[in-house]
Amino acid sequence: MNIKCPDPIDEEDQCIWRWTPKHNFELKSAYSTMVGSLWAPKQPIWIIIWSLKVPQRVRLFLWIAYQQKLMTNGERCCRHFSSSPRCSDCSSYTETVIHALRDCNVTHRLWLQILPATLTRHFFSMNLHTWFSCNLSTNFLHPVLKLSWNILFASLTWQLWKRRNNFVFNNISSSETDTINHGITWAKYYYGITCKGTIGGLIRDDNGVWLIGFAKVIGHSSSLQAELWATLEGMKLAWEQGYPRVVVQSNCKQAVELIRSLDLSTFSLVRAINRLRHLNWLTEIVWIPRSKPTCRCLSKDS
Ligand SMILES: [Zn+2]
């Protein structure tokens, strides 16, 4: 869905370098491509965690948890940071990683609410390492939530740890339902961004008044491709609406630079955008840093 249809007036096919986002050759990318498959990490879990489709902070959390380096009460006590190794939730056991994330009565109840029947048999009896590697490499869809189990598992363990920290350090307790709902919501988000990319935008007049909006599903996509798609679709819409002067604002510097560069781009999307710009109207492409408000409309006319 994210590949633009061929256009009879477009360029002939040409060779491109597929391993960089801009399709330009870089020695670094050639090296990574050649040796990448030869990297043989000693632990398979390394690849399982670091290729999981979740944000980097969640991967980092999973990696630290797997290495048993989370600052649980047990760990803090060993390092003389606290006087008691007991779990703050149940006060009955030493708080280890597996206790905090699975075996404490609160977390145990929570997992039981969401665990698919096929996984319940061994889920609570595995040791920490097997527990992580099995669940993080299980990517079947949850029968009710229709989410990949490994993403849901990662999201829930992350939320359980955040819940525990909020309780221990901020004295704020969250209900089990809230924790589950947070975990599911974030998992849906992580899963959604890896499965179906969507783009959208809106057109405003020079007073910032909303004129028209658009949205489109573009399938698997990089962020650069998504930005280029959004620019093309937005400009097509503006042209169809008959606006004589249009300023396109994007917070993707790479996309703006690609469109502005006069070289014949290897991106068919960039070529299509530039063909559109050569029609009988005035267009300008402006980069808006993400940190600044994007409500300023620079066009004199809409
Ligand atoms: Zn406990």
Give tens-digit pLDDT for 172-226: 988 889 999 999 988 988 887 655 677 888 899 988 888 998 888 887 677 788 8
| 39 occurs within a structural domain | no
- Among the three residues 168, 194, 220, which one is the final residue of a domain in this structure? 194
Question: What CATH number did the domain enclosing 264 receive?
Answer: 3.30.420.10
Q: Tell me, what's the pLDDT at 298? A: 42
176 lies in the same domain as 222: no
Q: How far is the CA of 74 from the centre of ligand 1 (A)?
A: 11
Q: How far is the CA of 167 from the centre of ligand 1 (A)?
A: 12
Q: Tell me, what's the pLDDT at 262? A: 67
Q: How far is the CA of 50 from the centre of ligand 1 (A)?
A: 29
Q: How far is the CA of 105 from the centre of ligand 1 (A)?
A: 6
DSSP three-state, residue 248:
strand
Dmax (CA) of the chain: 75
Q: How far is the CA of 98 from the centre of ligand 1 (A)?
A: 10
Q: How far is the CA of 48 from the centre of ligand 1 (A)?
A: 28
In angstroms, the first-to-last Cα distance of the chain is 31
202 lies in the same domain as 272: yes
Q: How far is the CA of 199 from the centre of ligand 1 (A)?
A: 44
255 lies in the same domain as 215: yes
| 293 occurs within a structural domain | no
Q: Tell me, what's the pLDDT at 40? A: 67
142 lies in the same domain as 204: no
Q: Number of C-alpha atoms within 13 angstroms, CB side, residue 116? A: 18
Q: How far is the CA of 133 from the centre of ligand 1 (A)?
A: 23
- Among the three residues 145, 171, 194, which one is the final residue of a domain in this structure? 194
CA distance linking residue 21 with residue 19, whole number of Å:
7
| 206 occurs within a structural domain | yes
| 2 occurs within a structural domain | no
Q: How far is the CA of 175 from the centre of ligand 1 (A)?
A: 15
| 1 occurs within a structural domain | no
Q: Which of 66, 54, 52, 55 is nearest to 137 (CA)?
A: 52
Q: How far is the CA of 95 from the centre of ligand 1 (A)?
A: 6
Q: Tell me, what's the pLDDT at 225? A: 85
Q: Tell me, what's the pLDDT at 9? A: 82
Q: How confident is the model at residue 300 (pLDDT cuts 50, 70, 90)?
A: very low
Q: How far is the CA of 75 from the centre of ligand 1 (A)?
A: 14
- Among the three residues 194, 223, 257, which one is the final residue of a domain in this structure? 194
278 lies in the same domain as 185: no
pLDDT in tens, 24-48: 889 999 988 888 767 667 778 888 9
Kindly report which listed range (94-98, 107-111, 252-256, 298-302) carries the lowest average pLDDT score: 298-302
Q: How far is the CA of 27 from the centre of ligand 1 (A)?
A: 52
Q: How far is the CA of 107 from the centre of ligand 1 (A)?
A: 8
65 lies in the same domain as 138: yes
Q: How far is the CA of 179 from the centre of ligand 1 (A)?
A: 16
DSSP three-state, residue 214:
strand
Q: Give me the residues paired with residue 200 across strands.
A: 215
Over range 118-136, report the average pLDDT: 93
| 96 occurs within a structural domain | yes
183 lies in the same domain as 202: no
Q: How far is the CA of 92 from the centre of ligand 1 (A)?
A: 6
Over range 222-233, report the average pLDDT: 88
102 lies in the same domain as 158: yes
| 34 occurs within a structural domain | no
Overall number of domains in the chain: 2
| 292 occurs within a structural domain | no
216 lies in the same domain as 254: yes
Domain range for 254 is 197-287
Helices (H) and strands (E) in the chain, counts: 13, 4
79 lies in the same domain as 182: yes
Q: Tell me, what's the pLDDT at 154? A: 96
185 lies in the same domain as 239: no
Q: How far is the CA of 52 from the centre of ligand 1 (A)?
A: 28
145 lies in the same domain as 242: no
